[in-house]
Structure 1
Amino acid sequence: MSRPRSFDETDVLEAAIDCFWARGLEATSVRDLAGRMGINGPSLYNAFGDKRSLFMRALEHYAVRSMRERIGRMERLPDPKAAIAAFFGELISASLADPDRRGCLIVNTALEVAPHDPEIAILIAAYLDEIEAFFRRALVRAAAGGDLAPSVEPTDMARLLLGLVIAVRVMARTVSDRSRLDGMVRPILALIQARPDIRTPA
Protein backbone atom coordinates (compact mmCIF):
# COMPACT_ATOMS: atom_id res chain seq x y z
CA MET A 1 0.00 0.00 0.00
CA SER A 2 1.45 3.37 -1.04
CA ARG A 3 2.09 5.97 1.63
CA PRO A 4 0.04 9.20 1.36
CA ARG A 5 1.91 12.29 0.34
CA SER A 6 2.88 14.55 3.21
CA PHE A 7 2.95 17.76 1.15
CA ASP A 8 0.55 20.00 -0.74
CA GLU A 9 1.18 19.56 -4.47
CA THR A 10 0.23 23.13 -5.34
CA ASP A 11 2.65 24.52 -2.75
CA VAL A 12 5.58 22.41 -3.92
CA LEU A 13 4.88 23.19 -7.59
CA GLU A 14 4.89 26.91 -6.75
CA ALA A 15 8.24 26.40 -5.03
CA ALA A 16 9.56 24.51 -8.05
CA ILE A 17 8.43 27.35 -10.33
CA ASP A 18 10.35 29.86 -8.22
CA CYS A 19 13.47 27.70 -8.39
CA PHE A 20 13.34 27.09 -12.15
CA TRP A 21 12.34 30.71 -12.78
CA ALA A 22 15.37 31.99 -10.90
CA ARG A 23 17.98 29.65 -12.39
CA GLY A 24 16.53 27.99 -15.49
CA LEU A 25 16.23 24.27 -16.15
CA GLU A 26 19.88 23.38 -16.70
CA ALA A 27 21.34 25.35 -13.79
CA THR A 28 18.78 24.07 -11.28
CA SER A 29 19.84 20.92 -9.40
CA VAL A 30 17.63 18.34 -7.73
CA ARG A 31 19.17 19.47 -4.44
CA ASP A 32 18.10 23.06 -5.20
CA LEU A 33 14.59 21.87 -5.92
CA ALA A 34 14.28 19.62 -2.89
CA GLY A 35 15.53 22.41 -0.61
CA ARG A 36 13.13 24.97 -2.05
CA MET A 37 10.20 22.56 -2.15
CA GLY A 38 10.80 21.30 1.38
CA ILE A 39 10.85 17.63 0.44
CA ASN A 40 13.66 15.11 0.11
CA GLY A 41 15.06 13.77 -3.14
CA PRO A 42 13.30 10.36 -3.04
CA SER A 43 9.92 12.04 -2.40
CA LEU A 44 10.55 14.38 -5.31
CA TYR A 45 11.34 11.51 -7.68
CA ASN A 46 8.39 9.43 -6.45
CA ALA A 47 5.94 12.28 -6.92
CA PHE A 48 7.21 13.95 -10.08
CA GLY A 49 9.80 11.73 -11.75
CA ASP A 50 13.07 13.29 -12.89
CA LYS A 51 13.99 16.98 -12.96
CA ARG A 52 12.81 17.45 -16.53
CA SER A 53 9.41 15.90 -15.79
CA LEU A 54 9.04 18.18 -12.77
CA PHE A 55 9.96 21.16 -14.94
CA MET A 56 7.18 20.31 -17.41
CA ARG A 57 4.67 19.95 -14.56
CA ALA A 58 5.80 23.26 -13.10
CA LEU A 59 5.54 24.93 -16.50
CA GLU A 60 1.96 23.70 -16.91
CA HIS A 61 1.07 24.94 -13.44
CA TYR A 62 2.59 28.33 -14.31
CA ALA A 63 0.61 28.46 -17.56
CA VAL A 64 -2.66 27.75 -15.76
CA ARG A 65 -2.27 30.31 -12.97
CA SER A 66 -0.65 33.00 -15.10
CA MET A 67 -1.38 32.93 -18.82
CA ARG A 68 -4.73 31.11 -18.84
CA GLU A 69 -6.08 32.96 -15.81
CA ARG A 70 -5.32 36.29 -17.48
CA ILE A 71 -6.80 35.23 -20.81
CA GLY A 72 -9.95 34.00 -19.06
CA ARG A 73 -10.47 37.33 -17.33
CA MET A 74 -9.78 39.33 -20.48
CA GLU A 75 -12.27 37.31 -22.52
CA ARG A 76 -15.01 38.16 -20.06
CA LEU A 77 -14.64 41.85 -20.86
CA PRO A 78 -17.40 43.07 -23.20
CA ASP A 79 -15.10 45.10 -25.47
CA PRO A 80 -12.60 42.84 -27.26
CA LYS A 81 -10.26 45.68 -28.21
CA ALA A 82 -10.24 46.92 -24.62
CA ALA A 83 -9.44 43.35 -23.58
CA ILE A 84 -6.30 43.36 -25.73
CA ALA A 85 -5.20 46.70 -24.28
CA ALA A 86 -5.88 45.46 -20.74
CA PHE A 87 -3.88 42.29 -21.44
CA PHE A 88 -0.81 44.33 -22.30
CA GLY A 89 -1.37 46.73 -19.42
CA GLU A 90 -1.35 43.83 -16.97
CA LEU A 91 1.61 42.21 -18.72
CA ILE A 92 3.73 45.34 -18.30
CA SER A 93 2.62 45.87 -14.71
CA ALA A 94 3.42 42.28 -13.76
CA SER A 95 6.81 42.45 -15.45
CA LEU A 96 7.81 45.64 -13.64
CA ALA A 97 6.41 44.48 -10.28
CA ASP A 98 8.95 41.64 -10.13
CA PRO A 99 12.03 43.00 -8.32
CA ASP A 100 14.15 40.16 -9.68
CA ARG A 101 13.24 40.91 -13.32
CA ARG A 102 12.72 37.22 -14.09
CA GLY A 103 10.52 37.84 -17.12
CA CYS A 104 8.06 35.14 -18.17
CA LEU A 105 8.85 31.48 -17.52
CA ILE A 106 7.25 30.47 -20.83
CA VAL A 107 9.19 33.05 -22.84
CA ASN A 108 12.42 32.30 -20.97
CA THR A 109 11.98 28.62 -21.75
CA ALA A 110 11.27 29.40 -25.40
CA LEU A 111 14.62 31.17 -25.61
CA GLU A 112 16.76 28.99 -23.36
CA VAL A 113 15.45 25.42 -23.49
CA ALA A 114 13.16 24.90 -26.48
CA PRO A 115 15.91 25.18 -29.15
CA HIS A 116 17.65 22.14 -27.60
CA ASP A 117 14.65 20.05 -26.48
CA PRO A 118 12.07 19.12 -29.15
CA GLU A 119 9.44 17.91 -26.66
CA ILE A 120 9.59 21.09 -24.61
CA ALA A 121 9.62 23.10 -27.85
CA ILE A 122 6.27 21.54 -28.78
CA LEU A 123 4.90 22.37 -25.33
CA ILE A 124 6.05 25.99 -25.53
CA ALA A 125 4.66 26.37 -29.05
CA ALA A 126 1.28 25.20 -27.75
CA TYR A 127 1.33 27.81 -24.96
CA LEU A 128 2.24 30.56 -27.41
CA ASP A 129 -0.54 29.35 -29.73
CA GLU A 130 -3.01 29.86 -26.86
CA ILE A 131 -1.95 33.48 -26.51
CA GLU A 132 -2.17 34.04 -30.26
CA ALA A 133 -5.60 32.39 -30.35
CA PHE A 134 -6.86 34.75 -27.64
CA PHE A 135 -5.79 37.76 -29.69
CA ARG A 136 -7.33 36.30 -32.86
CA ARG A 137 -10.66 35.61 -31.14
CA ALA A 138 -10.77 39.16 -29.78
CA LEU A 139 -10.00 40.65 -33.18
CA VAL A 140 -12.58 38.46 -34.93
CA ARG A 141 -15.17 39.59 -32.36
CA ALA A 142 -14.27 43.22 -33.03
CA ALA A 143 -14.51 42.70 -36.79
CA ALA A 144 -17.87 40.94 -36.46
CA GLY A 145 -19.15 43.93 -34.51
CA GLY A 146 -18.00 46.33 -37.22
CA ASP A 147 -15.38 47.79 -34.87
CA LEU A 148 -12.15 46.84 -36.65
CA ALA A 149 -10.56 48.65 -39.56
CA PRO A 150 -10.60 46.53 -42.75
CA SER A 151 -6.82 46.92 -43.00
CA VAL A 152 -6.40 44.91 -39.77
CA GLU A 153 -6.43 41.23 -40.65
CA PRO A 154 -7.14 39.24 -37.45
CA THR A 155 -4.72 36.35 -38.01
CA ASP A 156 -1.78 38.52 -39.04
CA MET A 157 -2.42 41.01 -36.25
CA ALA A 158 -2.73 38.21 -33.68
CA ARG A 159 0.71 36.97 -34.71
CA LEU A 160 2.13 40.48 -34.46
CA LEU A 161 0.64 40.85 -30.98
CA LEU A 162 2.18 37.55 -29.90
CA GLY A 163 5.56 38.82 -31.08
CA LEU A 164 4.94 41.98 -29.07
CA VAL A 165 4.23 39.93 -25.93
CA ILE A 166 7.59 38.20 -26.31
CA ALA A 167 9.38 41.48 -27.00
CA VAL A 168 7.86 43.19 -23.94
CA ARG A 169 8.72 40.27 -21.67
CA VAL A 170 12.33 40.18 -22.87
CA MET A 171 12.78 43.95 -22.73
CA ALA A 172 11.27 44.15 -19.24
CA ARG A 173 14.10 41.98 -17.89
CA THR A 174 16.49 44.90 -18.34
CA VAL A 175 14.25 47.98 -18.59
CA SER A 176 12.50 49.42 -15.53
CA ASP A 177 11.05 52.48 -17.30
CA ARG A 178 7.37 51.84 -17.93
CA SER A 179 7.18 54.58 -20.53
CA ARG A 180 9.56 52.63 -22.78
CA LEU A 181 7.48 49.47 -22.54
CA ASP A 182 4.24 51.40 -23.06
CA GLY A 183 5.90 53.01 -26.08
CA MET A 184 6.50 49.58 -27.61
CA VAL A 185 2.84 48.68 -27.26
CA ARG A 186 1.13 51.99 -28.04
CA PRO A 187 1.62 52.09 -31.85
CA ILE A 188 0.24 48.58 -32.29
CA LEU A 189 -2.76 49.27 -30.08
CA ALA A 190 -3.38 52.44 -32.10
CA LEU A 191 -3.74 50.31 -35.24
CA ILE A 192 -6.33 48.16 -33.50
CA GLN A 193 -8.17 51.09 -31.93
CA ALA A 194 -8.42 53.00 -35.22
CA ARG A 195 -12.05 53.46 -36.18
CA PRO A 196 -13.22 51.64 -39.29
CA ASP A 197 -13.70 53.80 -42.36
CA ILE A 198 -17.29 54.93 -42.63
CA ARG A 199 -18.22 55.56 -46.23
CA THR A 200 -21.34 57.48 -47.19
CA PRO A 201 -23.39 55.70 -49.88
CA ALA A 202 -23.16 57.40 -53.27
Structure 2
Amino acid sequence: MARPRKFVESDVVSSAGEVFAVHGLAAATLDDLVRATGLGKQSLYNAFGGKRELFLRALSEDRAEATRAVSEALGHDDASPLERIRGHMLTMAIEFSSSDRRVSLTTRALVESTGEEDPLSTVTKAGIDQLAGVYAQCLEHAREQGEIPADANVQSLAVYFVAITRGMELLGRAGVGRAVLTAVALDALRVLHGQAMPVPNRTPGSSLSS
Protein backbone atom coordinates (compact mmCIF):
# COMPACT_ATOMS: atom_id res chain seq x y z
CA MET A 1 0.00 0.00 0.00
CA ALA A 2 1.34 3.42 -0.98
CA ARG A 3 2.12 5.78 1.85
CA PRO A 4 -0.06 8.86 2.15
CA ARG A 5 1.73 11.86 0.73
CA LYS A 6 3.07 14.18 3.39
CA PHE A 7 2.73 17.93 3.02
CA VAL A 8 3.03 21.08 5.07
CA GLU A 9 -0.43 22.53 5.60
CA SER A 10 0.81 26.10 5.85
CA ASP A 11 2.50 25.78 2.44
CA VAL A 12 -0.67 24.41 0.88
CA VAL A 13 -2.77 27.20 2.40
CA SER A 14 -0.30 29.81 1.15
CA SER A 15 -0.30 28.39 -2.39
CA ALA A 16 -4.08 28.17 -2.41
CA GLY A 17 -4.26 31.74 -1.16
CA GLU A 18 -2.33 32.91 -4.21
CA VAL A 19 -4.88 31.21 -6.46
CA PHE A 20 -7.84 32.69 -4.60
CA ALA A 21 -6.27 36.16 -4.60
CA VAL A 22 -6.04 36.06 -8.39
CA HIS A 23 -9.33 34.35 -9.25
CA GLY A 24 -11.53 34.75 -6.19
CA LEU A 25 -13.52 32.01 -4.52
CA ALA A 26 -16.17 31.60 -7.20
CA ALA A 27 -13.85 31.53 -10.22
CA ALA A 28 -11.00 29.45 -8.76
CA THR A 29 -11.32 25.82 -9.81
CA LEU A 30 -10.18 22.65 -8.14
CA ASP A 31 -7.82 22.12 -11.05
CA ASP A 32 -6.26 25.54 -10.31
CA LEU A 33 -5.77 24.50 -6.69
CA VAL A 34 -4.35 21.10 -7.62
CA ARG A 35 -1.77 22.72 -9.89
CA ALA A 36 -0.81 25.32 -7.30
CA THR A 37 -0.61 23.04 -4.27
CA GLY A 38 0.62 19.81 -5.85
CA LEU A 39 -2.10 17.86 -4.04
CA GLY A 40 -4.77 15.73 -5.64
CA LYS A 41 -8.44 16.66 -5.37
CA GLN A 42 -9.18 13.94 -2.85
CA SER A 43 -6.24 14.97 -0.71
CA LEU A 44 -7.48 18.55 -0.68
CA TYR A 45 -10.93 17.39 0.39
CA ASN A 46 -9.54 15.07 3.04
CA ALA A 47 -7.26 17.71 4.51
CA PHE A 48 -9.43 20.84 4.26
CA GLY A 49 -13.00 19.76 3.51
CA GLY A 50 -13.38 21.49 0.16
CA LYS A 51 -12.69 24.63 -1.84
CA ARG A 52 -14.72 26.98 0.35
CA GLU A 53 -13.16 25.67 3.54
CA LEU A 54 -9.68 26.08 2.06
CA PHE A 55 -10.54 29.66 1.06
CA LEU A 56 -11.66 30.44 4.61
CA ARG A 57 -8.45 28.98 5.97
CA ALA A 58 -6.37 31.09 3.59
CA LEU A 59 -8.48 34.14 4.41
CA SER A 60 -7.83 33.69 8.12
CA GLU A 61 -4.09 33.56 7.44
CA ASP A 62 -4.30 36.67 5.27
CA ARG A 63 -6.30 38.47 7.96
CA ALA A 64 -3.69 37.69 10.59
CA GLU A 65 -0.88 38.92 8.33
CA ALA A 66 -2.73 42.12 7.42
CA THR A 67 -3.43 42.89 11.07
CA ARG A 68 0.20 42.22 11.99
CA ALA A 69 1.48 44.51 9.22
CA VAL A 70 -0.77 47.41 10.20
CA SER A 71 0.06 46.91 13.89
CA GLU A 72 3.76 47.15 13.10
CA ALA A 73 3.29 50.23 10.94
CA LEU A 74 1.28 52.06 13.59
CA GLY A 75 3.11 50.77 16.62
CA HIS A 76 6.40 52.66 16.42
CA ASP A 77 6.93 55.02 19.35
CA ASP A 78 9.49 57.24 17.62
CA ALA A 79 6.76 59.23 15.87
CA SER A 80 3.46 60.78 16.90
CA PRO A 81 0.26 58.79 16.24
CA LEU A 82 -0.76 60.92 13.26
CA GLU A 83 2.75 60.77 11.82
CA ARG A 84 2.53 56.99 12.01
CA ILE A 85 -0.83 56.95 10.23
CA ARG A 86 0.49 59.36 7.58
CA GLY A 87 3.54 57.21 6.93
CA HIS A 88 1.40 54.10 6.76
CA MET A 89 -1.05 55.65 4.28
CA LEU A 90 1.71 56.91 2.01
CA THR A 91 3.38 53.49 2.10
CA MET A 92 0.06 51.92 1.09
CA ALA A 93 -0.18 54.32 -1.86
CA ILE A 94 3.21 53.10 -3.07
CA GLU A 95 2.51 49.42 -2.50
CA PHE A 96 -0.98 49.45 -4.00
CA SER A 97 0.23 51.19 -7.17
CA SER A 98 2.73 48.41 -7.86
CA SER A 99 1.81 46.70 -11.13
CA ASP A 100 2.62 43.21 -9.86
CA ARG A 101 0.77 43.41 -6.54
CA ARG A 102 -2.18 41.07 -6.15
CA VAL A 103 -5.32 41.99 -4.26
CA SER A 104 -5.27 40.66 -0.71
CA LEU A 105 -7.70 37.94 0.26
CA THR A 106 -9.23 40.28 2.82
CA THR A 107 -10.18 42.73 0.09
CA ARG A 108 -11.16 39.94 -2.29
CA ALA A 109 -13.50 38.55 0.37
CA LEU A 110 -15.05 41.99 0.85
CA VAL A 111 -15.92 42.06 -2.84
CA GLU A 112 -17.38 38.55 -2.83
CA SER A 113 -19.16 38.72 0.52
CA THR A 114 -22.95 38.74 0.27
CA GLY A 115 -23.47 40.28 3.69
CA GLU A 116 -25.59 37.30 4.71
CA GLU A 117 -24.95 35.29 7.86
CA ASP A 118 -22.60 32.75 6.33
CA PRO A 119 -19.01 31.74 7.22
CA LEU A 120 -17.47 33.95 4.52
CA SER A 121 -19.26 37.08 5.69
CA THR A 122 -18.53 36.25 9.32
CA VAL A 123 -14.79 35.81 8.74
CA THR A 124 -14.66 38.88 6.52
CA LYS A 125 -16.36 41.07 9.12
CA ALA A 126 -14.04 39.73 11.80
CA GLY A 127 -11.08 40.77 9.67
CA ILE A 128 -12.46 44.28 9.23
CA ASP A 129 -13.08 44.53 12.98
CA GLN A 130 -9.51 43.49 13.71
CA LEU A 131 -8.04 46.05 11.33
CA ALA A 132 -10.33 48.76 12.66
CA GLY A 133 -9.22 47.90 16.17
CA VAL A 134 -5.59 48.59 15.27
CA TYR A 135 -6.46 51.97 13.73
CA ALA A 136 -8.69 52.81 16.70
CA GLN A 137 -5.86 52.23 19.15
CA CYS A 138 -3.57 54.61 17.28
CA LEU A 139 -6.34 57.18 16.86
CA GLU A 140 -7.13 57.00 20.57
CA HIS A 141 -3.50 57.85 21.29
CA ALA A 142 -3.80 60.76 18.87
CA ARG A 143 -6.84 62.03 20.73
CA GLU A 144 -5.10 61.70 24.08
CA GLN A 145 -2.19 63.75 22.76
CA GLY A 146 -4.46 66.43 21.35
CA GLU A 147 -3.67 65.67 17.71
CA ILE A 148 -7.34 65.21 16.86
CA PRO A 149 -10.38 66.81 18.49
CA ALA A 150 -11.44 65.50 21.90
CA ASP A 151 -14.92 64.73 20.57
CA ALA A 152 -13.64 62.75 17.57
CA ASN A 153 -15.43 59.44 17.03
CA VAL A 154 -12.44 57.13 17.11
CA GLN A 155 -14.38 54.00 16.19
CA SER A 156 -15.97 55.45 13.06
CA LEU A 157 -12.68 57.02 12.01
CA ALA A 158 -11.00 53.62 12.39
CA VAL A 159 -13.54 51.99 10.07
CA TYR A 160 -13.12 54.95 7.72
CA PHE A 161 -9.40 54.22 7.36
CA VAL A 162 -10.09 50.55 6.73
CA ALA A 163 -12.49 51.57 3.98
CA ILE A 164 -10.00 54.03 2.48
CA THR A 165 -7.11 51.56 2.41
CA ARG A 166 -9.22 48.72 0.99
CA GLY A 167 -10.56 51.10 -1.66
CA MET A 168 -7.04 52.25 -2.50
CA GLU A 169 -6.04 48.63 -2.96
CA LEU A 170 -8.84 48.02 -5.46
CA LEU A 171 -8.06 51.25 -7.30
CA GLY A 172 -4.42 50.28 -7.54
CA ARG A 173 -5.37 46.89 -8.92
CA ALA A 174 -7.47 48.65 -11.56
CA GLY A 175 -4.44 50.65 -12.67
CA VAL A 176 -4.86 53.91 -10.77
CA GLY A 177 -1.41 55.45 -10.41
CA ARG A 178 0.69 56.33 -7.40
CA ALA A 179 0.12 60.07 -7.66
CA VAL A 180 -3.64 59.69 -7.40
CA LEU A 181 -3.44 57.14 -4.60
CA THR A 182 -1.08 59.44 -2.71
CA ALA A 183 -3.57 62.29 -3.10
CA VAL A 184 -6.33 60.03 -1.79
CA ALA A 185 -4.20 59.13 1.22
CA LEU A 186 -3.41 62.76 2.02
CA ASP A 187 -7.03 63.83 1.61
CA ALA A 188 -8.07 61.06 4.00
CA LEU A 189 -5.70 62.45 6.62
CA ARG A 190 -7.25 65.91 6.35
CA VAL A 191 -10.48 64.49 7.74
CA LEU A 192 -8.70 63.99 11.07
CA HIS A 193 -8.26 67.74 11.37
CA GLY A 194 -11.78 68.54 10.28
CA GLN A 195 -10.54 70.11 7.07
CA ALA A 196 -12.64 70.11 3.94
CA MET A 197 -11.15 68.17 1.09
CA PRO A 198 -10.28 70.41 -1.87
CA VAL A 199 -11.78 69.77 -5.26
CA PRO A 200 -8.89 68.69 -7.52
CA ASN A 201 -8.15 70.78 -10.57
CA ARG A 202 -7.84 68.18 -13.29
CA THR A 203 -6.32 69.27 -16.53
CA PRO A 204 -7.79 68.09 -19.84
CA GLY A 205 -6.53 64.67 -20.73
CA SER A 206 -5.29 63.88 -17.22
CA SER A 207 -5.62 60.27 -16.19
CA LEU A 208 -6.17 58.25 -13.04
CA SER A 209 -3.25 56.08 -14.12
CA SER A 210 -0.78 58.90 -13.53
Residue in structure 1 matched with residue 17 of structure 2 by the alignment = 17
- In structure 2, distance between residues paired with 1:90 and 1:41: 39
- In structure 2, distance between residues paired with 1:183 and 1:27: 33
Moved more, 36-45 or 109-118: 109-118
Moved more, 67-76 or 128-137: 67-76
Residues 45 and 98 of structure 1: is their aligned pair in 2 closer, same or farther, counting only changes over 3 Å?
Answer: farther
Residue in structure 2 matched with residue 26 of structure 1 by the alignment = 26
Residues 98 and 164 of structure 1: is their aligned pair in 2 closer, same or farther, counting only changes over 3 Å?
Answer: same
- In structure 1, distance between residues paired with 2:10 and 2:185: 34
Contact 2:62 2:104 in 1 (8 A): no
Shift of 1:122: 1.3
Moved more, 14-23 or 88-97: 88-97
Shift of 1:24: 0.8
Residue in structure 2 matched with residue 61 of structure 1 by the alignment = 61
TM-score with structure 1 length normalisation?
0.83
Offset from partner CA, 1:5-62 (integer Å, 9 cap, x none) = 6112222111101111111111111121011101111221121111111110011111
SS at match of 2:53: helix
- Unpaired stretches in structure 2, ≥5 consecutive residues: 195-210
Contact 1:81 1:142 in 2 (8 A): yes
Contact 1:74 1:87 in 2 (8 A): yes
Residue in structure 2 matched with residue 93 of structure 1 by the alignment = 94
Matches within 5 A, 1:134-149: 134-149=134-149
Shift of 1:72: 2.7
Shift of 1:116: 6.2
TM-score with structure 2 length normalisation?
0.80
Moved more, 161-170 or 112-121: 112-121
- In structure 2, distance between residues paired with 1:20 and 1:68: 19
Offset from partner CA, 1:89-122 (integer Å, 9 cap, x none) = 33223322352x5323212211123446722111
Contact 2:14 2:58 in 1 (8 A): yes
Offset from partner CA, 1:119-142 (integer Å, 9 cap, x none) = 211111110111111111111111
Offset from partner CA, 1:58-97 (integer Å, 9 cap, x none) = 11111222x1221231243113222222332332233223
- In structure 1, distance between residues paired with 2:15 and 2:178: 29
- In structure 2, distance between residues paired with 1:172 and 1:11: 27
Residue in structure 2 matched with residue 77 of structure 1 by the alignment = 76
- In structure 1, distance between residues paired with 2:21 and 2:99: 12
Letter in 2 for 1:81: L
Superposed structure 1 runs of 4+ greater than 6 Å apart: none
- Unpaired stretches in structure 1, ≥5 consecutive residues: 195-202
Residues 117 and 103 of structure 1: is their aligned pair in 2 closer, same or farther, counting only changes over 3 Å?
Answer: farther
RMSD: 2.2
- In structure 1, distance between residues paired with 2:116 and 2:148: 40
Contact 1:48 1:54 in 2 (8 A): yes
Count how many residue pairs are aligned between Structure 1 and Structure 2: 190
Matches within 5 A, 1:108-123: 108-115=108-115, 118-123=118-123
Contact 1:70 1:87 in 2 (8 A): no
Contact 1:135 1:161 in 2 (8 A): yes
